[in-house]
Chain A
Amino acid sequence: MKRLIPWILGLVLVVWVISRMLPPKDAHGLDLNGFAKLPVLVGGRVMPMDTLARLSLSGMNHHGTYTTAGRMVEQPSQGLLDVMMMPEHSDTAKLFEVSNQEIVDLFGSQDAKGQFVSYSFNDLKPYFSEIEKQAAMATQADSETRNPFQRGILKLRDSLRLYLQLKNTIQAEDSPDFGKEIEAFQMVIQPGIKAVRDRDAGKLFDNQDFERIVLFTQRYQNLSQAKYAFAIPSPQVPEENDGWQHVSQALLSAIGHGQVPYPVLAYCRMISAYRSGDIVGFNDVVREYSDYLSKTIPQKLDRAKIEFLFNHAQPFLQAMALYVIALVLGLLSWLFWPKTLGKTVIILLVGAFLIHTAGLIVRMYLQGRPPVTNLYSSAIFVGWASVMLCILMERFYRNGISSVCGAVIGFGTLLIAHNLQLDGDSLEMLRAVLDTNGWLATHVVGEALGYSAMFLAGLIGIIYIVRGVFTNSFDEATSKSLGRMMYGVVCFATLCSLVATILGGIWADQSWGRFWGWDPKENGALLIVLWNAIILHARWGGYARERGLAVMTVFGNIVTSLSWFGVNMLGVGLHSYGFMDQAFGPLLAFVVSQFVVMAIGCVSLEHWRGIKARGRRKESDIPVLTTDAVQP
Chain B
Amino acid sequence: MTSKIVQLLKPFTSPKLTIFCLGCAMVLVFLGTIDQVNIGVYEAENRYFRSFFLFFTPPHMDLRIPWFPGGYIVGSLLLVNLLAAHAARFRLSLKKIGIVLLHSGLILLLVGQLFADLFVDLESQLRLDQGETKNYSESFYFDELAVIDTSGADSDQVISIPASRLSKGSRIDLPVDGLRIVSNDYYPNSALISPSQLPQPGYPHLPVGPMAVAVQLEKTYKQNERNLPAADLSVFKNDKLIGSWRLAAGFPRPISFQAGVKKYEAVLRPKRFYKPFAITLIQFRHDRYAGTDIAKNFSSRIRLLDPSRHEDRESLIFMNNPLRYRGFTFYQAGFDNNDQTTVLQVAKNPSWLVPYISCALIVIGMLLQFGMHLLSFVKRRVIA
Contact = CB atoms under 8 A, between A and B. Distances in A.
B15 A537 contact: yes
Contacts of A519: 41
B29 interface: yes
A244 B349 contact: no
Contacts of A537: 15, 18-19, 22
A492 B296 contact: no
Interface string A537-578: 110110100000000000000000000000100111100000
Interface residues of B, number: 66
Contacts of B89: 630-631
A534 B22 contact: yes
Interface string A507-524: 101111111111110011
B249 interface: no
A362 interface: no
Contacts, number: 181
Given A242-B290, A244-B290, A541 B16 contact: yes
A41 B291 contact: yes
Nearest to B374: A488
B355 A505 contact: yes
Given A512-B345, A517-B41, A538 B19 contact: yes
A213 interface: no
Given A491-B370, A523-B29, A570-B34, A44 B296 contact: yes
B19 A541 contact: yes
Given A432-B298, A572-B36, A572-B223, A515 B352 contact: yes
A369 B306 CA distance: 40
Nearest to B352: A509
Given A520-B36, A524-B33, A502 B359 contact: yes
A374 to B, nearest CB: 13
Interface in B292-346: 292, 294-298, 319-322, 329-331, 333, 345-346
A325 interface: no
A570 B349 contact: no
B40 interface: yes
A44 B291 contact: yes
A81 B102 CA distance: 60
Contact of B292 (A44, A520, A527, A630): A44
A23 B200 CA distance: 71
Contacts of B16: 541, 543
Given A503-B359, A520-B36, A537-B18, A514 B349 contact: yes
B33 A506 contact: no
Contacts of A45: 289
Nearest to A494: B366
A518 B291 contact: no
A333 B345 CA distance: 59
Contacts of B298: 432
Given A498-B362, A512-B331, A241 B22 contact: no
B174 interface: no
Chain B at the A interface: SS class: helix
Nearest to B359: A502
Contacts of B333: 512
Given A41-B291, A530-B25, A533-B22, A513 B347 contact: yes
A518 B44 contact: yes
A435 interface: yes
B92 to A, nearest CB: 14
B49 interface: yes
B198 to A, nearest CB: 24
Given A527-B29, A567-B33, A514 B319 contact: no
Interface string B347-384: 10100100110110011001100100110010001000
B332 to A, nearest CB: 8
Nearest to B223: A572
Nearest to B24: A530
Contacts of B319: 432-433, 435, 511
A240 B298 CA distance: 19
B113 A515 contact: yes
Given A45-B289, A244-B290, A518-B44, A488 B377 contact: yes
A531 interface: yes
B99 interface: yes
A499 B363 contact: yes
A431 B289 contact: no
Interface string B195-229: 00000000000000000000000000001000000
B322 A510 contact: yes
Contacts of B109: 502
A479 B37 CA distance: 43
B289 A241 contact: yes
B290 A41 contact: yes
A505 B362 CA distance: 14
Contacts of A94: none
Interface in A240-273: 240-244, 246
Interface string B4-29: 00000000011110110011011001
Contacts of B116: 515
A244 B292 CA distance: 12
A600 B114 CA distance: 41
B359 A429 contact: no
A506 B113 contact: no
A515 B355 contact: yes
Given A495-B366, A506-B355, A534-B19, A44 B33 contact: no
B261 to A, nearest CB: 44
A526 interface: yes
Contacts of A630: 13-15, 89
B123 interface: yes
Contacts of B18: 533, 537, 541
A299 interface: no
B32 interface: yes
Given A495-B370, A503-B359, A241 B290 contact: yes
B320 A530 contact: no
Contact of A527 (B26, B355, B377): B26
Contacts of A42: 291
A517 B15 CA distance: 28
Contact of B362 (A227, A240, A499, A507): A499
A615 interface: no
A240 B291 CA distance: 12
Nearest to A240: B290
A230 interface: yes
Given A515-B113, A516-B113, A537-B22, A506 B359 contact: yes
A513 B294 contact: no
Nearest to B377: A488
A471 interface: no
Contacts of B366: 494-495, 498-499
A43 interface: yes
A243 B45 CA distance: 46
Interface of B: 13-16, 18-19, 22-23, 25-26, 29-30, 32-34, 36-37, 40-41, 44-45, 49, 89, 96, 99, 109, 113, 116, 123, 223, 288-292, 294-298, 319-322, 329-331, 333, 345-347, 349, 352, 355-356, 358-359, 362-363, 366-367, 370, 373-374, 377, 381
26 contacts: A41-B291, A43-B292, A428-B294, A435-B297, A435-B319, A498-B366, A502-B363, A506-B356, A506-B359, A513-B330, A513-B331, A513-B347, A515-B352, A524-B33, A527-B29, A527-B30, A530-B22, A533-B18, A534-B19, A541-B15, A541-B16, A543-B15, A570-B33, A570-B37, A572-B40, A630-B89
Interface of A: 41-45, 227-228, 230, 240-244, 246, 396, 428-429, 431-433, 435-436, 439, 484, 488, 491-492, 494-495, 498-499, 502-503, 505-507, 509-520, 523-524, 526-527, 530-531, 533-534, 537-538, 540-541, 543, 567, 570-573, 630-632
Given A491-B370, A570-B36, 12 more contacts: A44-B296, A435-B320, A484-B377, A499-B363, A513-B123, A515-B349, A523-B29, A523-B30, A523-B33, A534-B23, A538-B15, A630-B89
Top-3 shortest CB links A-B: A44-B289, A541-B15, A513-B347
